[in-house]
Amino acid sequence: MPVTDAVIPVAGLGTRLLPATRSQPKEMLPVLDRPVVQYVVEELVTAGVRRVLLVTGRRKRAIEDHFDADPELGSSPLLDPASGLQILYTRQARPAGLGDAIGYGRGLGATDGVMVALGDAILESAGNPSLSRRLIDTFEAQRPAAVIAVEAVAPERVSRYGIVAGPLEAITGLVEKPPAERAPSRWAVAARYVFAPRVLDALAGTPPDAGGEVQVADALNALIAGGERVIAVPLGPGERRHDIGTVEAYVATFVHFARADPRFSALLDG
């Protein structure tokens, strides 16, 4: 069965973007003319996803309103039945980490695998097929426990990301935010995954870390230790992950897309 289900976790508190996120979800911050989460949903639809579960939480209602039909404003093209997309919502009981949020995908009933896309990261893709499509294709062809997107980052940035160890065809583990001198590679996990249902089961059984958050890395490391295969797929030329999780990253992302768009680039040079 093809992978047509996806989970987009959008329940994080967005504390690094305060005060912008006091009442507004960070995933609703616009980049040019659209909120970030719309880029994510559009990317998934292009990759063949037909059902999306948005894992929301407190102060996140604007996301549901955004994708709702509105008699005064008109409907979103994404909601047009012709798009073939079904959007579902559930609420994370408390912000107990990304791993906990993804675990809500178990309720989706995905039998063969589920795409996971972080709601606060735009994946710029010049390639055809797109990165998300390549992740799904790799998963469907090889049926590992997980396929994860990875991006090469500069040594001084490895301490911000989950970093993979071992050959990309079968990684030997993941290390969360290692100091540069202890990073096993420069391949950083890049906000997109495809998980077999057993990964969602493993997340449900993974204890929270000292900070009270369930870490994806802990669940994947346990599966790898048990002999499961996890494949890392690198971003290709022209592909880039753009986070908006900090003010600096948000500004850099906005300016990058403005520069790349002839409608706005001239505004930046004045």
Q: Indicate whether 28 belongs to the interface with ligand UTP (CB under 6 A).
A: no
Task: Classify strands 51-56 and 5-9 as parallel, antiparallel or unpaired.
Answer: parallel
Q: Indicate whether 95 belongs to the interface with ligand UTP (CB under 6 A).
A: yes
Choices 92-100, 152-160, 175-183, 225-233 (CB under 6 A): range interacting with ligand UTP: 92-100
Q: Indicate whether 15 belongs to the interface with ligand UTP (CB under 6 A).
A: yes
How far apart CA 11 and CA 94 sit, in angstroms, is 8
Q: Indicate whether 35 belongs to the interface with ligand UTP (CB under 6 A).
A: no
Give strand ranges (E) for the chain.
5-9, 30-31, 34-35, 51-56, 86-91, 114-117, 121-124, 146-152, 162-165, 173-176, 187-195, 230-234, 240-243
Cα of 248 vs its chain's centroid, Å: 19
| Minimum distance of ligand UTP from residue 71's CB (angstroms) | 29
Q: Indicate whether 253 belongs to the interface with ligand UTP (CB under 6 A).
A: no
Choices 69-77, 98-106, 158-166, 258-266 (CB under 6 A): range interacting with ligand UTP: 98-106
Among 3, 6, 7, 10, binds ligand UTP (CB under 6 A): 10
Q: What is the CA radius of gyration of the chain?
A: 18
How far apart CA 214 and CA 248 sit, in angstroms, is 26
Answer for the pair 195, 104: CB distance below 8 angstroms, yes or no: no
Choices 14-22, 201-209, 218-226, 253-261 (CB under 6 A): range interacting with ligand UTP: 14-22
Q: Indicate whether 221 belongs to the interface with ligand UTP (CB under 6 A).
A: no
Is residue 20 exposed (0-12), middle (13-18) or buried (19+ Cβ within 10 Å)? middle
> What string marks each residue from 45 to 64 as x (binds ligand UTP by CB under 6 A) or -?
----------x---------
User: Residue with CB nearest ligand UTP?
Assistant: 12
With vertex at residue 226, the alpha carbon angle to CA 162 and CA 104, rounded to the nearest 5 degrees, is 60
Among 4, 92, 130, 206, binds ligand UTP (CB under 6 A): 92
- Helix, strand, or coil (residue 212): coil
Q: Indicate whether 105 belongs to the interface with ligand UTP (CB under 6 A).
A: no
Q: Indicate whether 97 belongs to the interface with ligand UTP (CB under 6 A).
A: yes
Q: Indicate whether 118 belongs to the interface with ligand UTP (CB under 6 A).
A: yes
Residues making contact with ligand UTP (CB under 6 A)? 9-16, 27, 55, 92, 95-98, 100-101, 118-120, 245
